[in-house]
């Protein structure tokens, strides 16, 4: 593939074609995987929910490629398959968790998008929106207690999640502690079926940043290059002691809330606006226009992504399901405090 110098036409300062390609790679991998996961859901192979990041891959991947794996913290939410992969999550973790393999990180105890590996800097989200932000704050504080001052903690949320008390409390706390936190708000226009005019009444969600004492940015969430530039800046600012950063990505969810939802309430009029553009197609076209990759190179990437997904899904489908008889049924790390010897417990 073409190697490219800094400051190419079509790219903001400081964003290399290599980094654009890296972002695109994870967008493509995520889309390919999620298309497969959705197909498995519709054919009855997946129990429970399936939540897709279609249309949000650029925003999600751009954040994670700006982070340092093994050093930073990334707390994804339900539409961050691309960011998860860019932060190093194994494709098998996704396949195994969705398909109920006992070998997955959650061992069948939790499913779908609730997976994580907290020991690798990726906490496992709970469903209650806004709840992960303060957890990331605490992880950052722990690093500081240990004398590590250059860890950045990033987390993602949607427009709906900004309405929670947890979001407000955590943003305020992060600013009070001046923590190196980056909050990515994917303003995808719908919280499940509720449009933004029933979610918030401020002119722009980014206006909330100043109220918390955070630095705020607004970006076209369909534009990978713009997302890379804004997250590069926000992560750098956080890392260099400028406190919490809030990035609002304006985009459209190109699917329903979950695979169970056809999203028929999303009007055609919004789909045809710039918000409704497919970030993956835009990024692909940009690479061709600027000759960062040829058609055949891109087709090879797509084939490789399909192969990787196929292998992971096949492996997960061969894995054993959790066995109730082998499950420990022990919710405590302190085994001696478990009550196991009474029939009423």
Partner 1 sequence: MSITYLEAIREAQTRALQENPDVFIYGQDIAGFGGAFKATKHLARDFPGRVLDSPISEDAMMGFAIGAAIEGMRPIVEMQFADFSSIAFNQIINQAATHYWRTGIPCPLVVRLPSGGTAGSGPFHSQSMESLYAHYPGLIVLTPATVGDAYWMLLEAIEINDPVIFCEHKFLYYHLKAGALPTVEERLPIGKARITRHGKHASVVTYSAMVHEALRAADELARLGYEIEVVDLRSIKPLDTDTVLASVARTGRLLVVGEAFPYGGVTAEVIARVTAEGFHLLDAPPKRLNARDTPIPYHPNLWAAHRPTAATITEALRELLGF
Interface positions with partner 1 (CB under 8 A):
105-106, 109-110, 114, 116-119, 123-124, 126-128, 131-143, 145, 165-166, 169-170, 172-173, 176, 330-334, 336-339, 342-345
Q: How far is the CB of 60 from partner 1 (least distance, A)?
A: 21
Could you tell me whether strands 190-191 and 215-220 are parallel, antiparallel, or unpaired per DSSP bridges? unpaired
Q: How far is the CB of 302 from partner 1 (least distance, A)?
A: 33
**Closer to partner 1 by Cβ: residue 268 or 339:** 339
Percent helix / strand / coil, the chain, rounded to 5: 45, 10, 45
Q: Which two three-digit tokens encode residue 333?
A: 């790390």
Q: Pick from 127, 124, 105: which is nearest to 48 by CA?
A: 127
Q: How far is the CB of 207 from partner 1 (least distance, A)?
A: 21
**Closer to partner 1 by Cβ: residue 204 or 327:** 327
- The number of CA neighbours under 13 Å toward the Cβ of 57 is 31
**Closer to partner 1 by Cβ: residue 167 or 190:** 167
**Closer to partner 1 by Cβ: residue 70 or 343:** 343
Q: How far apart are CA 13 and CA 10, in angstroms?
A: 10
Q: How far apart are CA 292 and CA 154, in angstroms?
A: 29
Q: How far is the CB of 237 from partner 1 (least distance, A)?
A: 21
Q: How far is the CB of 146 from partner 1 (least distance, A)?
A: 8
**Closer to partner 1 by Cβ: residue 323 or 339:** 339
Secondary structure (DSSP) of 221-279: TT-HHHHHHHHHHHHHHHHTT---EEEEEE---SS-SSTT---TTS-HHHHTSGGGS-H
């Amino acid at each position: 593939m073409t190697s490219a110098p800094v400051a190419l036409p079509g790219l903001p300062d400081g964003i290399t074609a290599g980094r654009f390609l890296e972002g695109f790679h994870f967008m493509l991998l995520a889309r390919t995987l999620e298309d497969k996961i959705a197909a498995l859901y519709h054919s009855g192979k997946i129990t429970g929910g399936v939540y897709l990041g279609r249309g949000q891959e650029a925003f999600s991947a751009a954040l994670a490629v700006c982070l340092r794996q093994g050093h930073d913290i990334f707390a994804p939410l339900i539409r961050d398959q691309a960011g998860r992969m860019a932060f190093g999550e194994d494709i098998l973790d996704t396949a195994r968790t969705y398909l109920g393999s006992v070998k997955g990180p959650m061992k069948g105890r939790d499913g779908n998008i609730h997976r994580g590996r907290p020991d690798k800097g990726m906490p496992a989200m709970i469903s209650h929106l806004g709840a992960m932000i303060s957890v990331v704050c605490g992880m950052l504080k722990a690093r500081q207690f240990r004398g590590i001052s250059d860890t950045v903690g990033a987390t993602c949320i949607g427009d709906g999640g900004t309405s929670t008390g947890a979001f407000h409390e955590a943003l305020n706390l992060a600013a009070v502690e001046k923590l190196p936190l980056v909050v990515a708000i994917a303003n995808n226009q719908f919280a499940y079926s509720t449009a933004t005019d029933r979610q918030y009444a401020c002119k722009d969600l980014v206006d909330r940043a100043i109220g918390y004492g955070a630095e705020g940015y607004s970006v076209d969430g369909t534009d990978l290059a713009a997302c890379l530039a804004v997250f590069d800046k926000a992560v750098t600012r956080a890392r260099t002691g400028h406190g919490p950063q809030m990035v609002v990505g304006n985009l459209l969810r190109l699917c329903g809330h979950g695979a169970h939802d056809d999203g028929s309430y999303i009007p055609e009029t919004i789909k045809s606006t710039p918000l409704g553009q497919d970030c993956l197609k835009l990024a692909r076209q940009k690479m061709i226009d600027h000759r960062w990759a040829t058609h055949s190179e891109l087709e090879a990437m797509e084939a490789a992504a399909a192969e990787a997904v196929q292998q992971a899904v096949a492996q997960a489908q061969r894995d054993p399901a959790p066995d109730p008889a082998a499950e420990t049924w022990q919710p405590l790390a302190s085994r001696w405090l478990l009550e196991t010897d009474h029939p009423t417990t």
